[in-house]
Each structure stands twice: as structure tokens, then as C-alpha cells.
Amino acid sequence: MRKLISIAALAIASQFALAPAVLAATPQQERMKECNAQAGEKGLKGDERKAFMKQCLSAKKDGRAAQQEKMKTCNAEAGKQGLKGDARKAFMKECLSK
């Protein structure tokens, strides 16, 4: 009986310990969720669904790469112009919003 109670207590404690890890969704999980929902709305199945999911999941990465490239370009331009402080902040804000 003692052994059963201790096993049950251990099982319950492990559920509470693992709960935060399950609740926190990673950005990759969020992308999967969004792409999966879009594929479901379009009624895609089989190879069409696989192709769509591959494209959808890689498209998000391209968006990040484009943003990083824009950041590099704007940063380099601000450096060429010798901008500092508030002038640099204003330039970067305008450059990145294009």
C-alpha cells in the first residue's frame, strides 16, 4: 500500500513538473500550428499537403532573413552617413519601415 501511494505521488508530482514545458509553445510550434490550419482550410491532402507545409514553414524563415538583410543594409547606410544618437534612431526607424 505504501509503495502504491508513493508511486501515485511521484506520478502526480512529475505531471506538475512537466506542465510548464508543455504549455510554452516555441516559435516553430506556432509556425506549424498556423501552416497546419491553413492547409486544413484549403483541404489539402497527401503530397499537396506536404508540399504546402514545406513551403509554408520555409517562407517564415525567408521573412526573417529578409528582415535581417534589411537591418544590415540600414545599419551600414547609417554608418556611412555617420549618424549617431537620435538621428540614427530616426533614420533606422524610417529605413526599416520601408
| pLDDT of residue 55 exceeding 60 | yes
- The number of residues in the chain equals 98
Give the cell for residue 15: 505531471
pLDDT given for residue 98 in this prediction: 78
Task: Tell me which residue range forms the domain holding 27.
Answer: 2-97
Predicted confidence (pLDDT) per residue in 20-51, tens digit: 555 667 888 888 898 999 999 999 899 999 98
pLDDT given for residue 19 in this prediction: 56
Domain count, the chain: 1
pLDDT band at 18 (very low <50, low <70, confident <90, very high): low
Summarize the confidence of residues 3-30 as an average pLDDT: 70
